[in-house]
Each structure stands twice: as C-alpha cells, then as structure tokens.
Structure 1
C-alpha cells in the first residue's frame, strides 16, 4: 500500500500538496491586463547538486531546489502559509554549514553550494522519519488518507526499512470540531498546517498547540467547534490522516474514484473543483487549482453539499391531478403545458431563471418565449436591473484585483457568507497591504477589522454629499473599491441606491485609468449569464399578469412574480419550493450531471463537465426546452450542445471564450441617465444570504448542510 500513488501523481489531483512551484498567471484588473509576475528583481546564483541555478534574491533554499527540479520532502511547509520549520523533513546539506539545515526556512545566499543526495542528508531524513513514525499508529488499512498520504509516500522513498523504538505508542484524545472535519489526533505529526490556515487564511483562531514534547497536541484548548465557512480545507492541508472528511469517512478509496474537472455553483464565485465519483454516485468534492479565482481553497458548502444531489430528486415528469402530483409520461406533461399555453396571450407567458440555471438553458428558454411572442422573462431577484452595460453588474476589478484595493466600502453585502473564498482575499488585502474596510448595512462579523459606518440609505447619502469622514479615505486612496451586494439591488429602491453608488464612485475615483473598483457581488451561479443574455422583461411585459409561468431551476422566486392562479411549469432537479408550486414538473439534470456554462460574478464563463449520468428520466434543461418547443409549435433551431453554444456565442460573444474575462467598459457618465431616479427606503441594508449552509435546492436537500445549520456553525 505504501507508495501506491506517488507524490508526483498526487500533485495533479490534490492542489494542496503540490510539489511543483507554479508561477502566477496573467490576471485582469479593471479594463486593462496586468501580469501578476513580479517586476525584474535582483537574482543570485546558487549550486544545487552540482548544477548552477539562478533564483530571485530573498528566496529560500527549498525554492532553489524546486527551481533546479529537485524534489524536497516536506510536511509542515506549504506555499500559501507562513513558514514554520518544525517538521525537519526538508533537511539538506549546505557546504561549510556545521549540520543539515531546514531548507524551507533557510535563505539562499549567493554562491551557496546545496547538496540534497549526500549520505548525511539521507541519514538525517531517515532519522526524522523514524521519529515521526515512532508514535504513528498503523492505521493505513482503515485510514481515509490511505493512497494519498504524504507520510506513506515519503516513508517509502526517504524512510528506513526498520525502526529502533520499542516503547508503547502514545495515544491522543480525538477532538470534536463539528459535523464536517473528522479527527484522529493520534495520527497527528504536529506540522501545524491546520493551525496556520485557520489563523492566516480563514481568520478564525480556533486551533492551536498545547503541551510540550511528547505531550504536544493540536486542538482548541477548550472544547469548541471549528467555526469557519472554509474549515474543510484543513482536510486537504493535513499531510496525514489526522484530519479527514467526516461525511466521506469509510465510503471509498482514492484509487477507486474517477475525477472530473468542474465548477462549483453554490455561489457566484465559480470556484474550480474536482468531482470524485464511484459508479453513478458523487463521493466527494475537492478543490482544483485556479490562481485567478479560488487558488486552492473552496467553501464548506461547495465541498460538502454533494449529498444533496441524491436526495429529494425529481426523476420522472409529474403533473398535478386530483390527488396531488402524479408521475406522467413526457408526452402527457407536454400536452398539459401546450393546452395551458394555448389559453394565454403572448405576454401572459412568463419565464423565471433561478440560481442554478445554466447559460444553455437560459438562452433556450429565452428563444422559446420570444418565438411565442413573449418578452416576459426575468432573472430571479433581479426583475428591473438593466443589462445593457455589463460594468454595472459585474465585479469589475476581478477576483484577484480585490487584493490591490486600499480602501474598500461594503454596501449591503456580507462576503463571509456570500463568497467565503473572496472574503479570504479581502482579509489578505486588509492584513497584508493595510487596506481599510468599511461597511454600510447591518453589522458584520467578518474575519478582519471593519469600520461600521451606518445601516442604510442615509449613510450613503452622507458619503455622496462628501460629509462623511470615510469619503476622504476613499478619495485619497490609490485604488478605492465599492462592493455592492446582490440583495441591495433586489430591493424596491435598488435602482435609486445604485444611482447614489454610481455618483459616489465618480466622486471618489473608484473608476479611473487602469482601475475599475465598482464591483457587484452576486449570490447565485446563474444570474450573470442571465443578465449577459438579456433575460430581462420587456417594457410591455412588465405590466402583464402571467397566466403561464416557467420556473427554470427557480426555487427562490418572489411570490408576487407567480400569480396564485397561474399555470406553473417547473424545470429542475430537486423537489424544492418551485416544484411544490408547480402544475407540471419536468426533471432536469443537476450540475454534476451535465456539461453546461456558468458565468461567475466577474464575468468569466466556465463550463462544468458531466461526472455522472442524470438520475432516472432527468435530462439536460436545454434539451427539455428544445423538445417542448416542438410541441408548442415554436421549434428551436438547434439539436445538439455545440449548436446551442453557437447560439450562445451569437447572443453573447464572450461566452465562447471560456475561462477568460472580457474587460467591460465603464459607460456610466456623470448624468447616470440609464438609471432612473427614485426615492429610497429607511430599511437597513442586509445580506441576501441568511443561512450560509442553505441557499439553493441542492444545499437545502443536503443532510450535512442541515447538520451544520443545527449546530449553529454560523
């Protein structure tokens, strides 16, 4: 079992244990492209195993070895965490040094001669490994880390074939961290990766070390839960089996899993993920490295909500009968819909796109409604926002760009629950570069200092009138930023508030040469694609009362948008609110069961890939709309996925350039003519996310997310 998967192979599948230094990619900031590669710096030359290597001044010995292509074993070192230097596995020999040095913590000096394969280095590593295994239990056959364990791999490559310790192995009591992270602390080797992650990235200082020597333990000092929306990342960071996934425990081995690259849809950030499947079931979800979006972190909801994919699923078409909903054939379901549509006028037919609607299904639904003569379609929660100017509803600075801001104003948003990975970047900007963060809205409990300015519209007006002290802070900042929550625009006075924010942005220099700091943080994966595709009501449709309503993955619609006497058709994957309201239900595929396009909050199109087959009779949403169009006498002109995507590119050309952000132009002039004036309410600004663990149909069906809610982790 030892060494079944090499470190090199695991590098490709587990970003958190990456052995290879990856240079940062190009990123988009505002309307210009900038390279995140640092400017030319002084370099030094060192020798690694007889080969000269040129590295930036200030690099460590470990970096020099990595640059030379020499793999150095390590347990405590991680490229995104501070240096601890406590595992001593990365020992190398440096000429003229009296003893082996820890390469992760030793600065490289000019003309340094580094040796990594000498007998002294091999003996030192064997000794370190012997100490680590002295108290490590022989749990490999029952450990969930088996097959992707750093200790296994490095014991095979760098360890000895025997040990000299005969004392009884110590035992450590397991810690209860909550329903997500399982602990077997006897396996812990005290690398402190989890402690440093909690403090430096998650911003929750719940973990630490107690005791000394043999009695050292990782824990919470006093018994408490690990309260963080990103706690699951310690599972990837742990180099042994001390911290593993509690929902995944004893369900599968890593070599039994098929990995599929995909995109998370639990929020609008579009974090890159790997969907691990066994047969027809999703077994776990892990992060996939993407420096421009989520780096190698994902939120707990993205990681653990997958059990909701097999619960409360809709697997057959259903129609309302005398005794309630009953299973019917596709033909019967389509006939009932056609009968209802025939009794409604063109603008009385309405479509609502929900949080999990993909771009292919949205464009198909829009084309169908338009062919029926209806312009009555809208994105859930955004009924009136104009979509003519992309910069008015995107995160224009890009996700990476938030780290360049030095004065940040949060308005009606709580990034900790709306986008935890983005919150980690805001924390980095606040702590490492000294950015000042202020909030207008309900008081926030973030992971970094926030200045509370006020609760609502009155504070915004003070800022716009230049009478609030924070106006000066923004005006003097080099890169000021405004982050607007999606819940703010969804208010009845949302457009009036947006008008004030645009005025404030103009006065404080939020938008300038090479920098656009006006950002909207959306709360759902499908909304930006809907806005890009113009899935908004026409002027005539806004006044029409709907008699037939198509709910496209819409489970959080406003009751006012669906009249009580309307005939409702629900297209989706779960028996949630939308299905409860429906007269006809058409089973759609979940995001892990289809290849589809989602556009994240910064306007970056990304595609999921089908990891498993759809359940029962479920089909891709766009194929359902395509089949329905024939029955309604308005056949759509595409029959396969490539044709649908060609139509996507025709409506929104940037959809064709997946993984890229098309810079948006700031066209909002000083008159803000495209935003109608209006009165504002005194109601305080609040986040659109009330419960982080339950925000859509999938997470509400998840037992794991229900446990998180019941234990009050937020």
Structure 2
C-alpha cells in the first residue's frame, strides 16, 4: 500500500501550512491511530501514528475524500421538528391505549459511539413505544466478551505460542489488516500453519484452503477430514472468524464442533471474532439488540435511521421490497408514517422518493456532524478504548448525534405517556453535557477505582472473560446446511460498504472500478 496523497496536496499546498491533529481510522474495526494534516477545516493527509504498527492501507489514507461537500444553504428547523415529532408521539400513545396492536417508533442504527448508544438506551427505557434495532442481522451471542471480539490469543505474545491457525469465512487483509500483519509475522518466524475455510484469498503468505462449504466443519467434528490430523498435532490453535458468519442460521454450532476436536478447551480459548466496523463491539457490549425484521414493518408509525446508508444495507432493501409487494399486510391505521434520516448527508432521500406515498408520507433529514467533528468513544474489536477528538468544524447547522438523541430524551421526559406509567418513575441519568455523560458510560461498562470526573479516561482496555460457560442444560439440535460461506472479492478500496466513508470517496470508487475490471469478472 503506497503513500498515496491527493493531487491538491502536492501541487498547491505546503507542509508548513498545516495543523497536525490526532485521530483514528474509521474504515475498519481496529481504529488505528492517525496523524492528520488539517488546513481550513479540511484534511489533506493521513499518516499512521502508532509506533507499534507503522502501517496504513489506502482506505485509511483516503477515506476523508468522501467526507466533505458544500454545505447546504437550507437551514434545519430543529425546534419545529422536535415539536412536531413530540405531538405525533403523544397522539400515538393515546391511540395505542385503545388499540390491541400497538404502533412503535423504530430506531435503526449502525456505527454508533458509546455516548449516543447509551442515550438511545435511556430513551428506550423512558418511552415504551420506542424500539431499538440493528440494521445488520447478526446472531452473535454476547454473554462473554470472547464471543464477539478478538481475544488474547491474537496478541503477538500469545500468537507466538500457537502452531496452527484456522480462518473461517474471513479476509483479515481487508477486514483487519493489523491482524493480517500479525499472522504474517508469525508465519515468517516458522512452525505455523494456516488453514482457511472460504474463498481462496491472497493474504500475502501461504494458506491451505479446505474449501468453501460450511459442511466442512461437520466433517472436522466427526474426525473424517484430513485436517483433523494437523489439529490434533498442533499446540494452542487459534480460530478466527467474523460477524458475517453469524448471519447464517447454523453459525452458532461452530464453537460446539470445535470443542469436540479439542480446538477449544478450558485451558486455552483460541476463538476470535473479527468485527466489521469500529462501533460493532460497543453495540454488543451494551445489550443484545434485535435486527430489523418483517414484524417491525407491520405496525409502526416512524422509522428513524442513524448513520445508516441504505445502499449497503441488504436486509433493509429486502424488507422494503417485500412491503411494496404487499407480502405482509400492515394492521396500522395510522397512514402518515414518518421517515427520519439522521446522517451527515441526505443519502437516503432517493430511497424515500421510491417509496413515497406507499410506505412513508413525511421525510426529515437531521444533519449530524461528521467524523472528527465531535469527541466520541468507541470500543474496537480488541477491547481497547478508542477516542476521537474534535478537529474540524465544517457544517455550521449540524449537531452531534448525542445532542440530537438527548433532545429526544428530554422531550419524552416532559410528556406523560399512558402506556408506560411504571417507566415514568424510573431513575435515569439526566446529563447536561457530554463530559459528565462519559463517566456514566464508563460506570455502566467497567469497574473504576474512583468516581471522579476523570475516571473514564483512566480505563484503557476492558477485562474480558475468556472461560467458556459450561451449560448443564442440553442444547437444541441445529441442522448444519451444506452451503457455501460468503464469497469474497479482492476489492480493497470500496468493498461492501461497511464503513460510512469509502463508498462516497471518488478516489476509492475509481480505484475499485479499475481493480474489478482488471482482476475479476464482476462489474
């Protein structure tokens, strides 16, 4: 990955004209530290700022190309919007009191910071009609941290003890290049073999592909596969998969199968799950949120998207097509359904125009701040605390996601809902500024030594529980489907749109077209 820069940087600007700032890379789940060169609220250069990993992909160098655009001259009527939406919620609450089928207000989100996620959770507790949903349908168990994030076995000290690695439906070169570098360094030291179940990929070091059929795991558990001999003779094997695997209905049995072949035991838990974006681990840490389903679209009066581009959400597009074809009938008598788009840009307006007067009748765009325009906190796929600092102030009319959600929360506390009288008596954290709210977030997740105003910044990493739970209740039988896992394409520039910036970058889109035209048959 070469040192690519924008043409404006080499032809027009000079190094002494920039202000240096620190940030993180939002294009993957590791959040690598960056050193950013800023001039007049514009980013022109991104370089790695971590001495332990002095490496950065092209996506990390050029993601900011899709962040900036000319700010809209149309101002947002914030007070009018919150007044109107509060009246609608108050009317729907009275309507639900006399109805059997209660209408709900669906909040669908992706890529959220811990502050915004916790404020949404408080909003759900104060208003029973609010439903929180994930856009992606991942069936990941979050009882232990080791079930949804990378464990200690992928760190360099532990990885040096291992002699075998198993990749299941993952491409670490694309999804987490830091992990791919660690695997490459371990392979170059010798006495390390890497098995792969999935597409044949170029990971810059040799791998042994076992096939792309998920039924291979069944043969590993029964001991009929040739790779069982390598697993039996290995020491401290490491298993790496990703959250895309948990979209399958039979994905929850793969850890049980690996226990039968002694890959996972009580002394060594080498199972690791690689997340697809920087905010996925934090969502799993708070609660087990359900994904959007067809039942959510049968009886609702509002759909609220936060940081979700519908162009890359296959689950939402499928549900919308089913609704337009009248596959499932809506029993909701409320026709004026509201579509709210809380994003940096009005990227979902074209989707609303297709379903206007069919699925929705009103559209609102709430401009939120861009990445690096707010002090936010994330948990990366390793369990490390990653923080962004406010370096830019590009859009004057926009507000942070936390401010918009807090305004919703304040409006619900000023209303009296009849359907959740018990919830109205709950003691919730009423914060005035985001600095105090960070301490609430930290106290909810981790144990701290002191409850001071700086206690949140003393925590650097969570302490995961890696011991597998021994259940006395016999688990239900799950049928293993002999189908292929996800097919990967070698497209490192634009990919499948898991981050919120690559799909809108003109440089990365052009690189993606050239890559697909020269190396694959897919266009």
The TM-score bracket by the shorter chain reads: 0.7 to 0.9
What residue in structure 2 maps to residue 650 of structure 1?
443
Q: Which residue of 1 aligns with 2:368?
A: 588
Structure 2 partner of 1:550: 304
Taking the aligned partners of 2:466 and 2:392, their CA distance within structure 1 comes to 40
Q: Is the counterpart of residue 351 in structure 1 residue 107 in structure 2?
A: yes
Deviation at 1:357, TM superposition (A): 1.6
Paired residues of 1:378 and 1:535 also in contact (CA < 8 A)? no
For 2:213 and 2:129, the matched residues in 1 are separated by 37
Aligned to 1:406: 163
Cα offset for 1:273?
0.9
Structure 1 moving runs of 4+ over 6 Å: 538-544, 561-565, 670-673
| TM-score, normalised with respect to structure 2 | 0.78
Please give the alpha-carbon distance, in whole angstroms, between the structure 2 residues aligned to 1:283 and 1:511.
Answer: 49
Task: Tell me if structure 2 keeps the 8 A contact 1:263–1:273.
Answer: yes
SS across alignment from 2:13: coil
The C-alpha deviation readout for 1:569-618, integer Å capped at 9, x for no partner, is: 22221333488448222111122111101111112121011111141311
**Cα deviations by residue, 1:238-267 (Å, 9 ceiling, x for unpaired):** xxxxxx665632243222222222211111
**Residue matched to 1:225:** none
Structure 1: state its 5+ residue gaps.
1-229, 236-243, 317-325
Residue deviations 1:67-120 (CA, integer Å, cap 9, x gap): xxxxxxxxxxxxxxxxxxxxxxxxxxxxxxxxxxxxxxxxxxxxxxxxxxxxxx
Contact 1:605–1:657 (CA under 8 A) maintained in structure 2: no
Counterpart contact for 1:397–1:518, Cα < 8 Å: no
Are 1:497 and 2:254 matched, yes or no? no
Q: Are residues 1:267 and 2:21 paired?
A: no
Mapped contact 1:604–1:661 kept (Cα < 8 A): yes
Q: Which residue of 2 aligns with 1:666?
A: 467
| 1:524 aligned residue | 277
* Deviation of 1:510 (Å): 3.3
2:126 and 2:23 map into 1 onto residues whose CA distance is 33
Aligned to 1:241: none
> Contact 1:407/1:474 (CA < 8 Å) preserved in 2?
yes
CA–CA separation in structure 1 for the residues paired with 2:299 and 2:153? 39
Q: Say which is worse superposed, 391-400 or 454-463, in terms of deviation.
A: 391-400
SS at match of 2:9: coil
Q: Is the 8 A contact 2:133 2:291 kept in 1?
A: no
Write the distance in 2 (CA, Å) between the matches of 1:697 and 1:539.
19
The number of residue pairs the alignment matches comes to 456
Alignment of 1:61-140 (within 5 A): none
- CA distance in structure 1 between the aligned counterparts of 2:302 and 2:138, rounded to whole angstroms: 17
Match of 2:118 among 350, 363, 368: 363
Partner of 2:78: 330
Distance 1:472 1:282, change over 3 A: same
Q: Which residue is 2:55 aligned to?
A: 297
Instruction: Judge conservation of contact 1:351–1:549 (CA < 8 Å) in 2.
Output: yes
Measured after TM superposition, the shift of residue 521 of structure 1 is 0.7
Separation (CA, whole Å) in 1 of partners of 2:370 and 2:159: 33
Instruction: Determine if the alignment matches structure 1 residue 474 to structure 2 residue 231.
Output: yes
Structure 2 match to 1:310 = 68
Distance of 2:192 and 2:45 partners within structure 1: 36
Q: 1:561 to 1:273 in 2, by over 3 A?
A: farther
Aligned residues of 2:212 and 2:484 also touching (Cα < 8 A): yes
Task: State the match for 1:601 in structure 2.
Answer: 381
Aligned to 2:208: 451
Query: What is the CA-CA distance between 1:286 and the residue it aligns to?
Result: 1.0
Contact 1:525 1:599 in 2 (8 A): yes
Give the conservation status (yes or no) of the 8 Å contact 1:605–1:658.
yes
Of stretches 263-272 and 282-291 in structure 1, the one that deviates more from structure 2 is 282-291
Q: 1:386 aligns with which of 130, 141, 158?
A: 141
Give the Cα–Cα distance (whole angstroms) in 1 for the partners of residues 302 and 225 of structure 2: 49
Structure 1 residues 688 and 353, CA, compared in 2 at 3 Å: closer, same or farther? farther
CA spacing shift, 1:374–1:363, aligned 2, 3 Å: farther
Q: For residues 617-675 of structure 1, give each alpha carbon's deviation from its aligned partner in whole angstroms, at most 9, with x where no partner exists.
A: 111111111112223346961121122212212321267654324232323326686x7
Picking from 285, 302, 308, the partner of 2:46 is 285
- RMSD of equivalent CA atoms: 3.2
What is the SS of the residue equivalent to 2:215? helix
Match of 1:630 among 394, 405, 410: 410
Residue 484 of structure 1 and its aligned partner are, at CA, apart by 1.0
SS of the residue aligned with 1:283?
Answer: strand
Q: Runs of 5+ in structure 2 lacking a partner? A: 97-101, 325-334, 353-361, 415-427, 448-455
Structure 1 residue 432: Cα displacement: 2.2
- Higher-Rg member (1/2): 1
Q: CA offsets, 1:282-337, max 9 Å, x none?
A: 1211111153xxx11122111111111103x7768xxxxxxxxx864112222343
Partner SS for 1:437? strand
* 2:236/2:270 contact within 8 Å kept: yes
1-structure distance, mates of 2:241, 2:254:
12
In the superposition, the TM-score normalised over structure 1's length comes to 0.58
CA distance in 1, matches of 2:83, 2:122: 20
SS at match of 2:501: helix
Q: Which residue of 1 aligns with 2:343?
A: 572
Partner of 2:515: 712
Residue 420 of structure 1: CA displacement? 2.3
Going from structure 1 to structure 2, the CA distance change for 1:518 and 1:467 (only over 3 Å counts) comes to same
**1:686 and 1:370 mapped to 2: Cα distance?**
37
The alpha carbon displacement at 1:398 in A equals: 5.8
Residues 434-489 of structure 1: CA distance to partner in whole angstroms, max 9, x if unpaired?
Answer: 32111112222321111111212210111122221222322322220111122111
Residue of structure 2 in register with 1:211 after alignment: none
Give the structure 1 partner of residue 501 of structure 2: 698
CA offsets per residue over residues 206-250 of structure 1, 9 Å max, x none?
xxxxxxxxxxxxxxxxxxxxxxxx333xx7xxxxxxxx6656322
Pairing 1:485–2:242 present: yes
Question: Is the contact made by 1:352 and 1:550 (CA closer than 8 Å) also made in structure 2?
Answer: yes
Give, in angstroms, the shift of residue 688 of structure 1.
7.7
Question: Cα distance 1:580–1:538, how it changes in 2: closer, same or farther (>3 A)?
Answer: closer
Describe the SS at the equivalent of 1:280: coil
Q: Distance in 2 between matches of 1:530 and 1:640?
A: 22
CA contact (8 A) 2:153 2:159 kept: no
Cα deviations across residues 24-59 of structure 1 (Å, max 9, x unaligned)? xxxxxxxxxxxxxxxxxxxxxxxxxxxxxxxxxxxx
Following superposition, the deviation at residue 389 of structure 1 comes to: 2.0
